[in-house]
Amino acid sequence: MTNAIIEVVDACKSFGGLKAVKDVSFTVGAGEIFGIAGPNGSGKSTLFNLMTGIPYGPTSGEIRFDGTRIDRWPAHAIARSGLCRTFQKDAEFPDLTVLETLLVSAVYNGDLSASEAANEAQSVLELAQFDPNRVDMLSSELSVYEKKQLMIASALISKPKVLMLDEPASGLTKPEIAKLDALLLGVNRAGVTILLIEHVLSLLLSVSQRLIVLNQGAILAQGLPADVVKDPAVAEAYLGGGV
């Protein structure tokens, strides 16, 4: 692993008496694609939430990004520092067009002027493999896959160091997942570290260089994808006893 860009140290999140995330610790190397797996309700999205502060931070523990502790920062400041995320459910600004969505992100997250944002939008849309004929469409009029592309493009336009993707393949067809696979590898080749939560194992195993598996809020296994899927505890807890 190269230099750690993210360090999560004993992160916990409680909701009343429920501990949704329990003493989770891991590091992510710069330039890595790092996978996070686990059954429904295992705390994957909660982990993303407390890392990004959206909508809450950790109850205890530390989150370090690029050597700086960020777990008490306001959420928008975390995003502006270069830790940018997407959401499991379709997130969109329904009244904004594709270009306007990118403009907002470029100006507020990337500190670009409106004219710089317009230029940058073209290259980001190309990287996200977005149909250039549909840039004036309202976000609400896009297909599920296009919304995912836009969500990724709107993160990329601010040139994040780390892109955190929460189940980007949910709701996609097999050909679309194949395109997403190529897209993620392309983004990573461009120098962006990726954290990927994903239920579609074929995608997760295909692109991830390392993996953790969460179960009931705690890390069950971690290591290389090939080793993790052979772990009997993972097979029992996550895969129902067989791969």
Applying CB under 8 A, among 46, 109, 188, 215 the residue interacting with other proteins is 109
Cβ 184 to other proteins, closest distance in Å? 18
Nearer to other proteins, 94 or 175 (CB): 94
CB contact set of 144 (below 8 Å; sequence gap of 6+): 90, 171, 172
- Using CB under 8 A as the binding rule, whether residue 100 contacts other proteins is answered as yes
Q: What is the dihedral of CA 109, 113, 119, 120, to 10 degrees?
A: -20
With contacts defined by CB under 8 A, name the span among 50-58, 171-179, 195-203, 223-231 that binds other proteins: 50-58
The DSSP result for 138-169, as a single string, is BGGGS-HHHHHHHHHHHHHTT--SEEEEESTT
Considering only 98, 103, 128, 196, the residue that binds other proteins (CB under 8 A) is: 103
Q: Choose, by CB under 8 A, the member of 91, 138, 200, 205 that binds other proteins.
A: 91
**In whole angstroms, what is the distance from residue 144 CA to residue 200 CA?**
16
Per rule CB under 8 A, count of chain residues that contact other proteins: 33
Residue from 1, 41, 95, 116 binding other proteins (CB under 8 A): 95
Question: Which residue, 22 or 80, has its beta carbon nearer to other proteins?
Answer: 80
SS3 210: strand
Out of 105, 149, 208, 222, which residue is the one contacting other proteins (CB under 8 A)?
105
134 binds other proteins, rule: CB under 8 A: no
Q: Is 78 helix (H, G, I), strand (E, B) or coil?
A: helix
User: Considering the rule CB under 8 A, would residue 104 count as an interface residue with other proteins?
Assistant: yes
Does 156 bind other proteins (CB under 8 A)? Our answer is no
Write down how long the chain is: 243
- Residue 183 sits in the site that holds other proteins (CB under 8 A): no
User: Does 118 contact other proteins by CB under 8 A?
Assistant: no
Q: Is 43 left (phi over 0), alpha (psi -120 to 50) or beta?
A: left
| From 61-69, 72-80, 118-126, 193-201, span contacting other proteins (CB under 8 A) | 72-80
Q: Is 74 exposed, middle or buried (0-12, 13-18, 19+ CB in 10 A)?
A: exposed
Q: 209: burial class by Cβ within 10 Å (0-12, 13-18, 19+)? A: middle
Contacts with other proteins, residue ranges (CB under 8 A): 52, 54-55, 74-76, 79-80, 84-87, 91-96, 100-101, 103-105, 107-110, 114, 117, 151, 154-155, 158
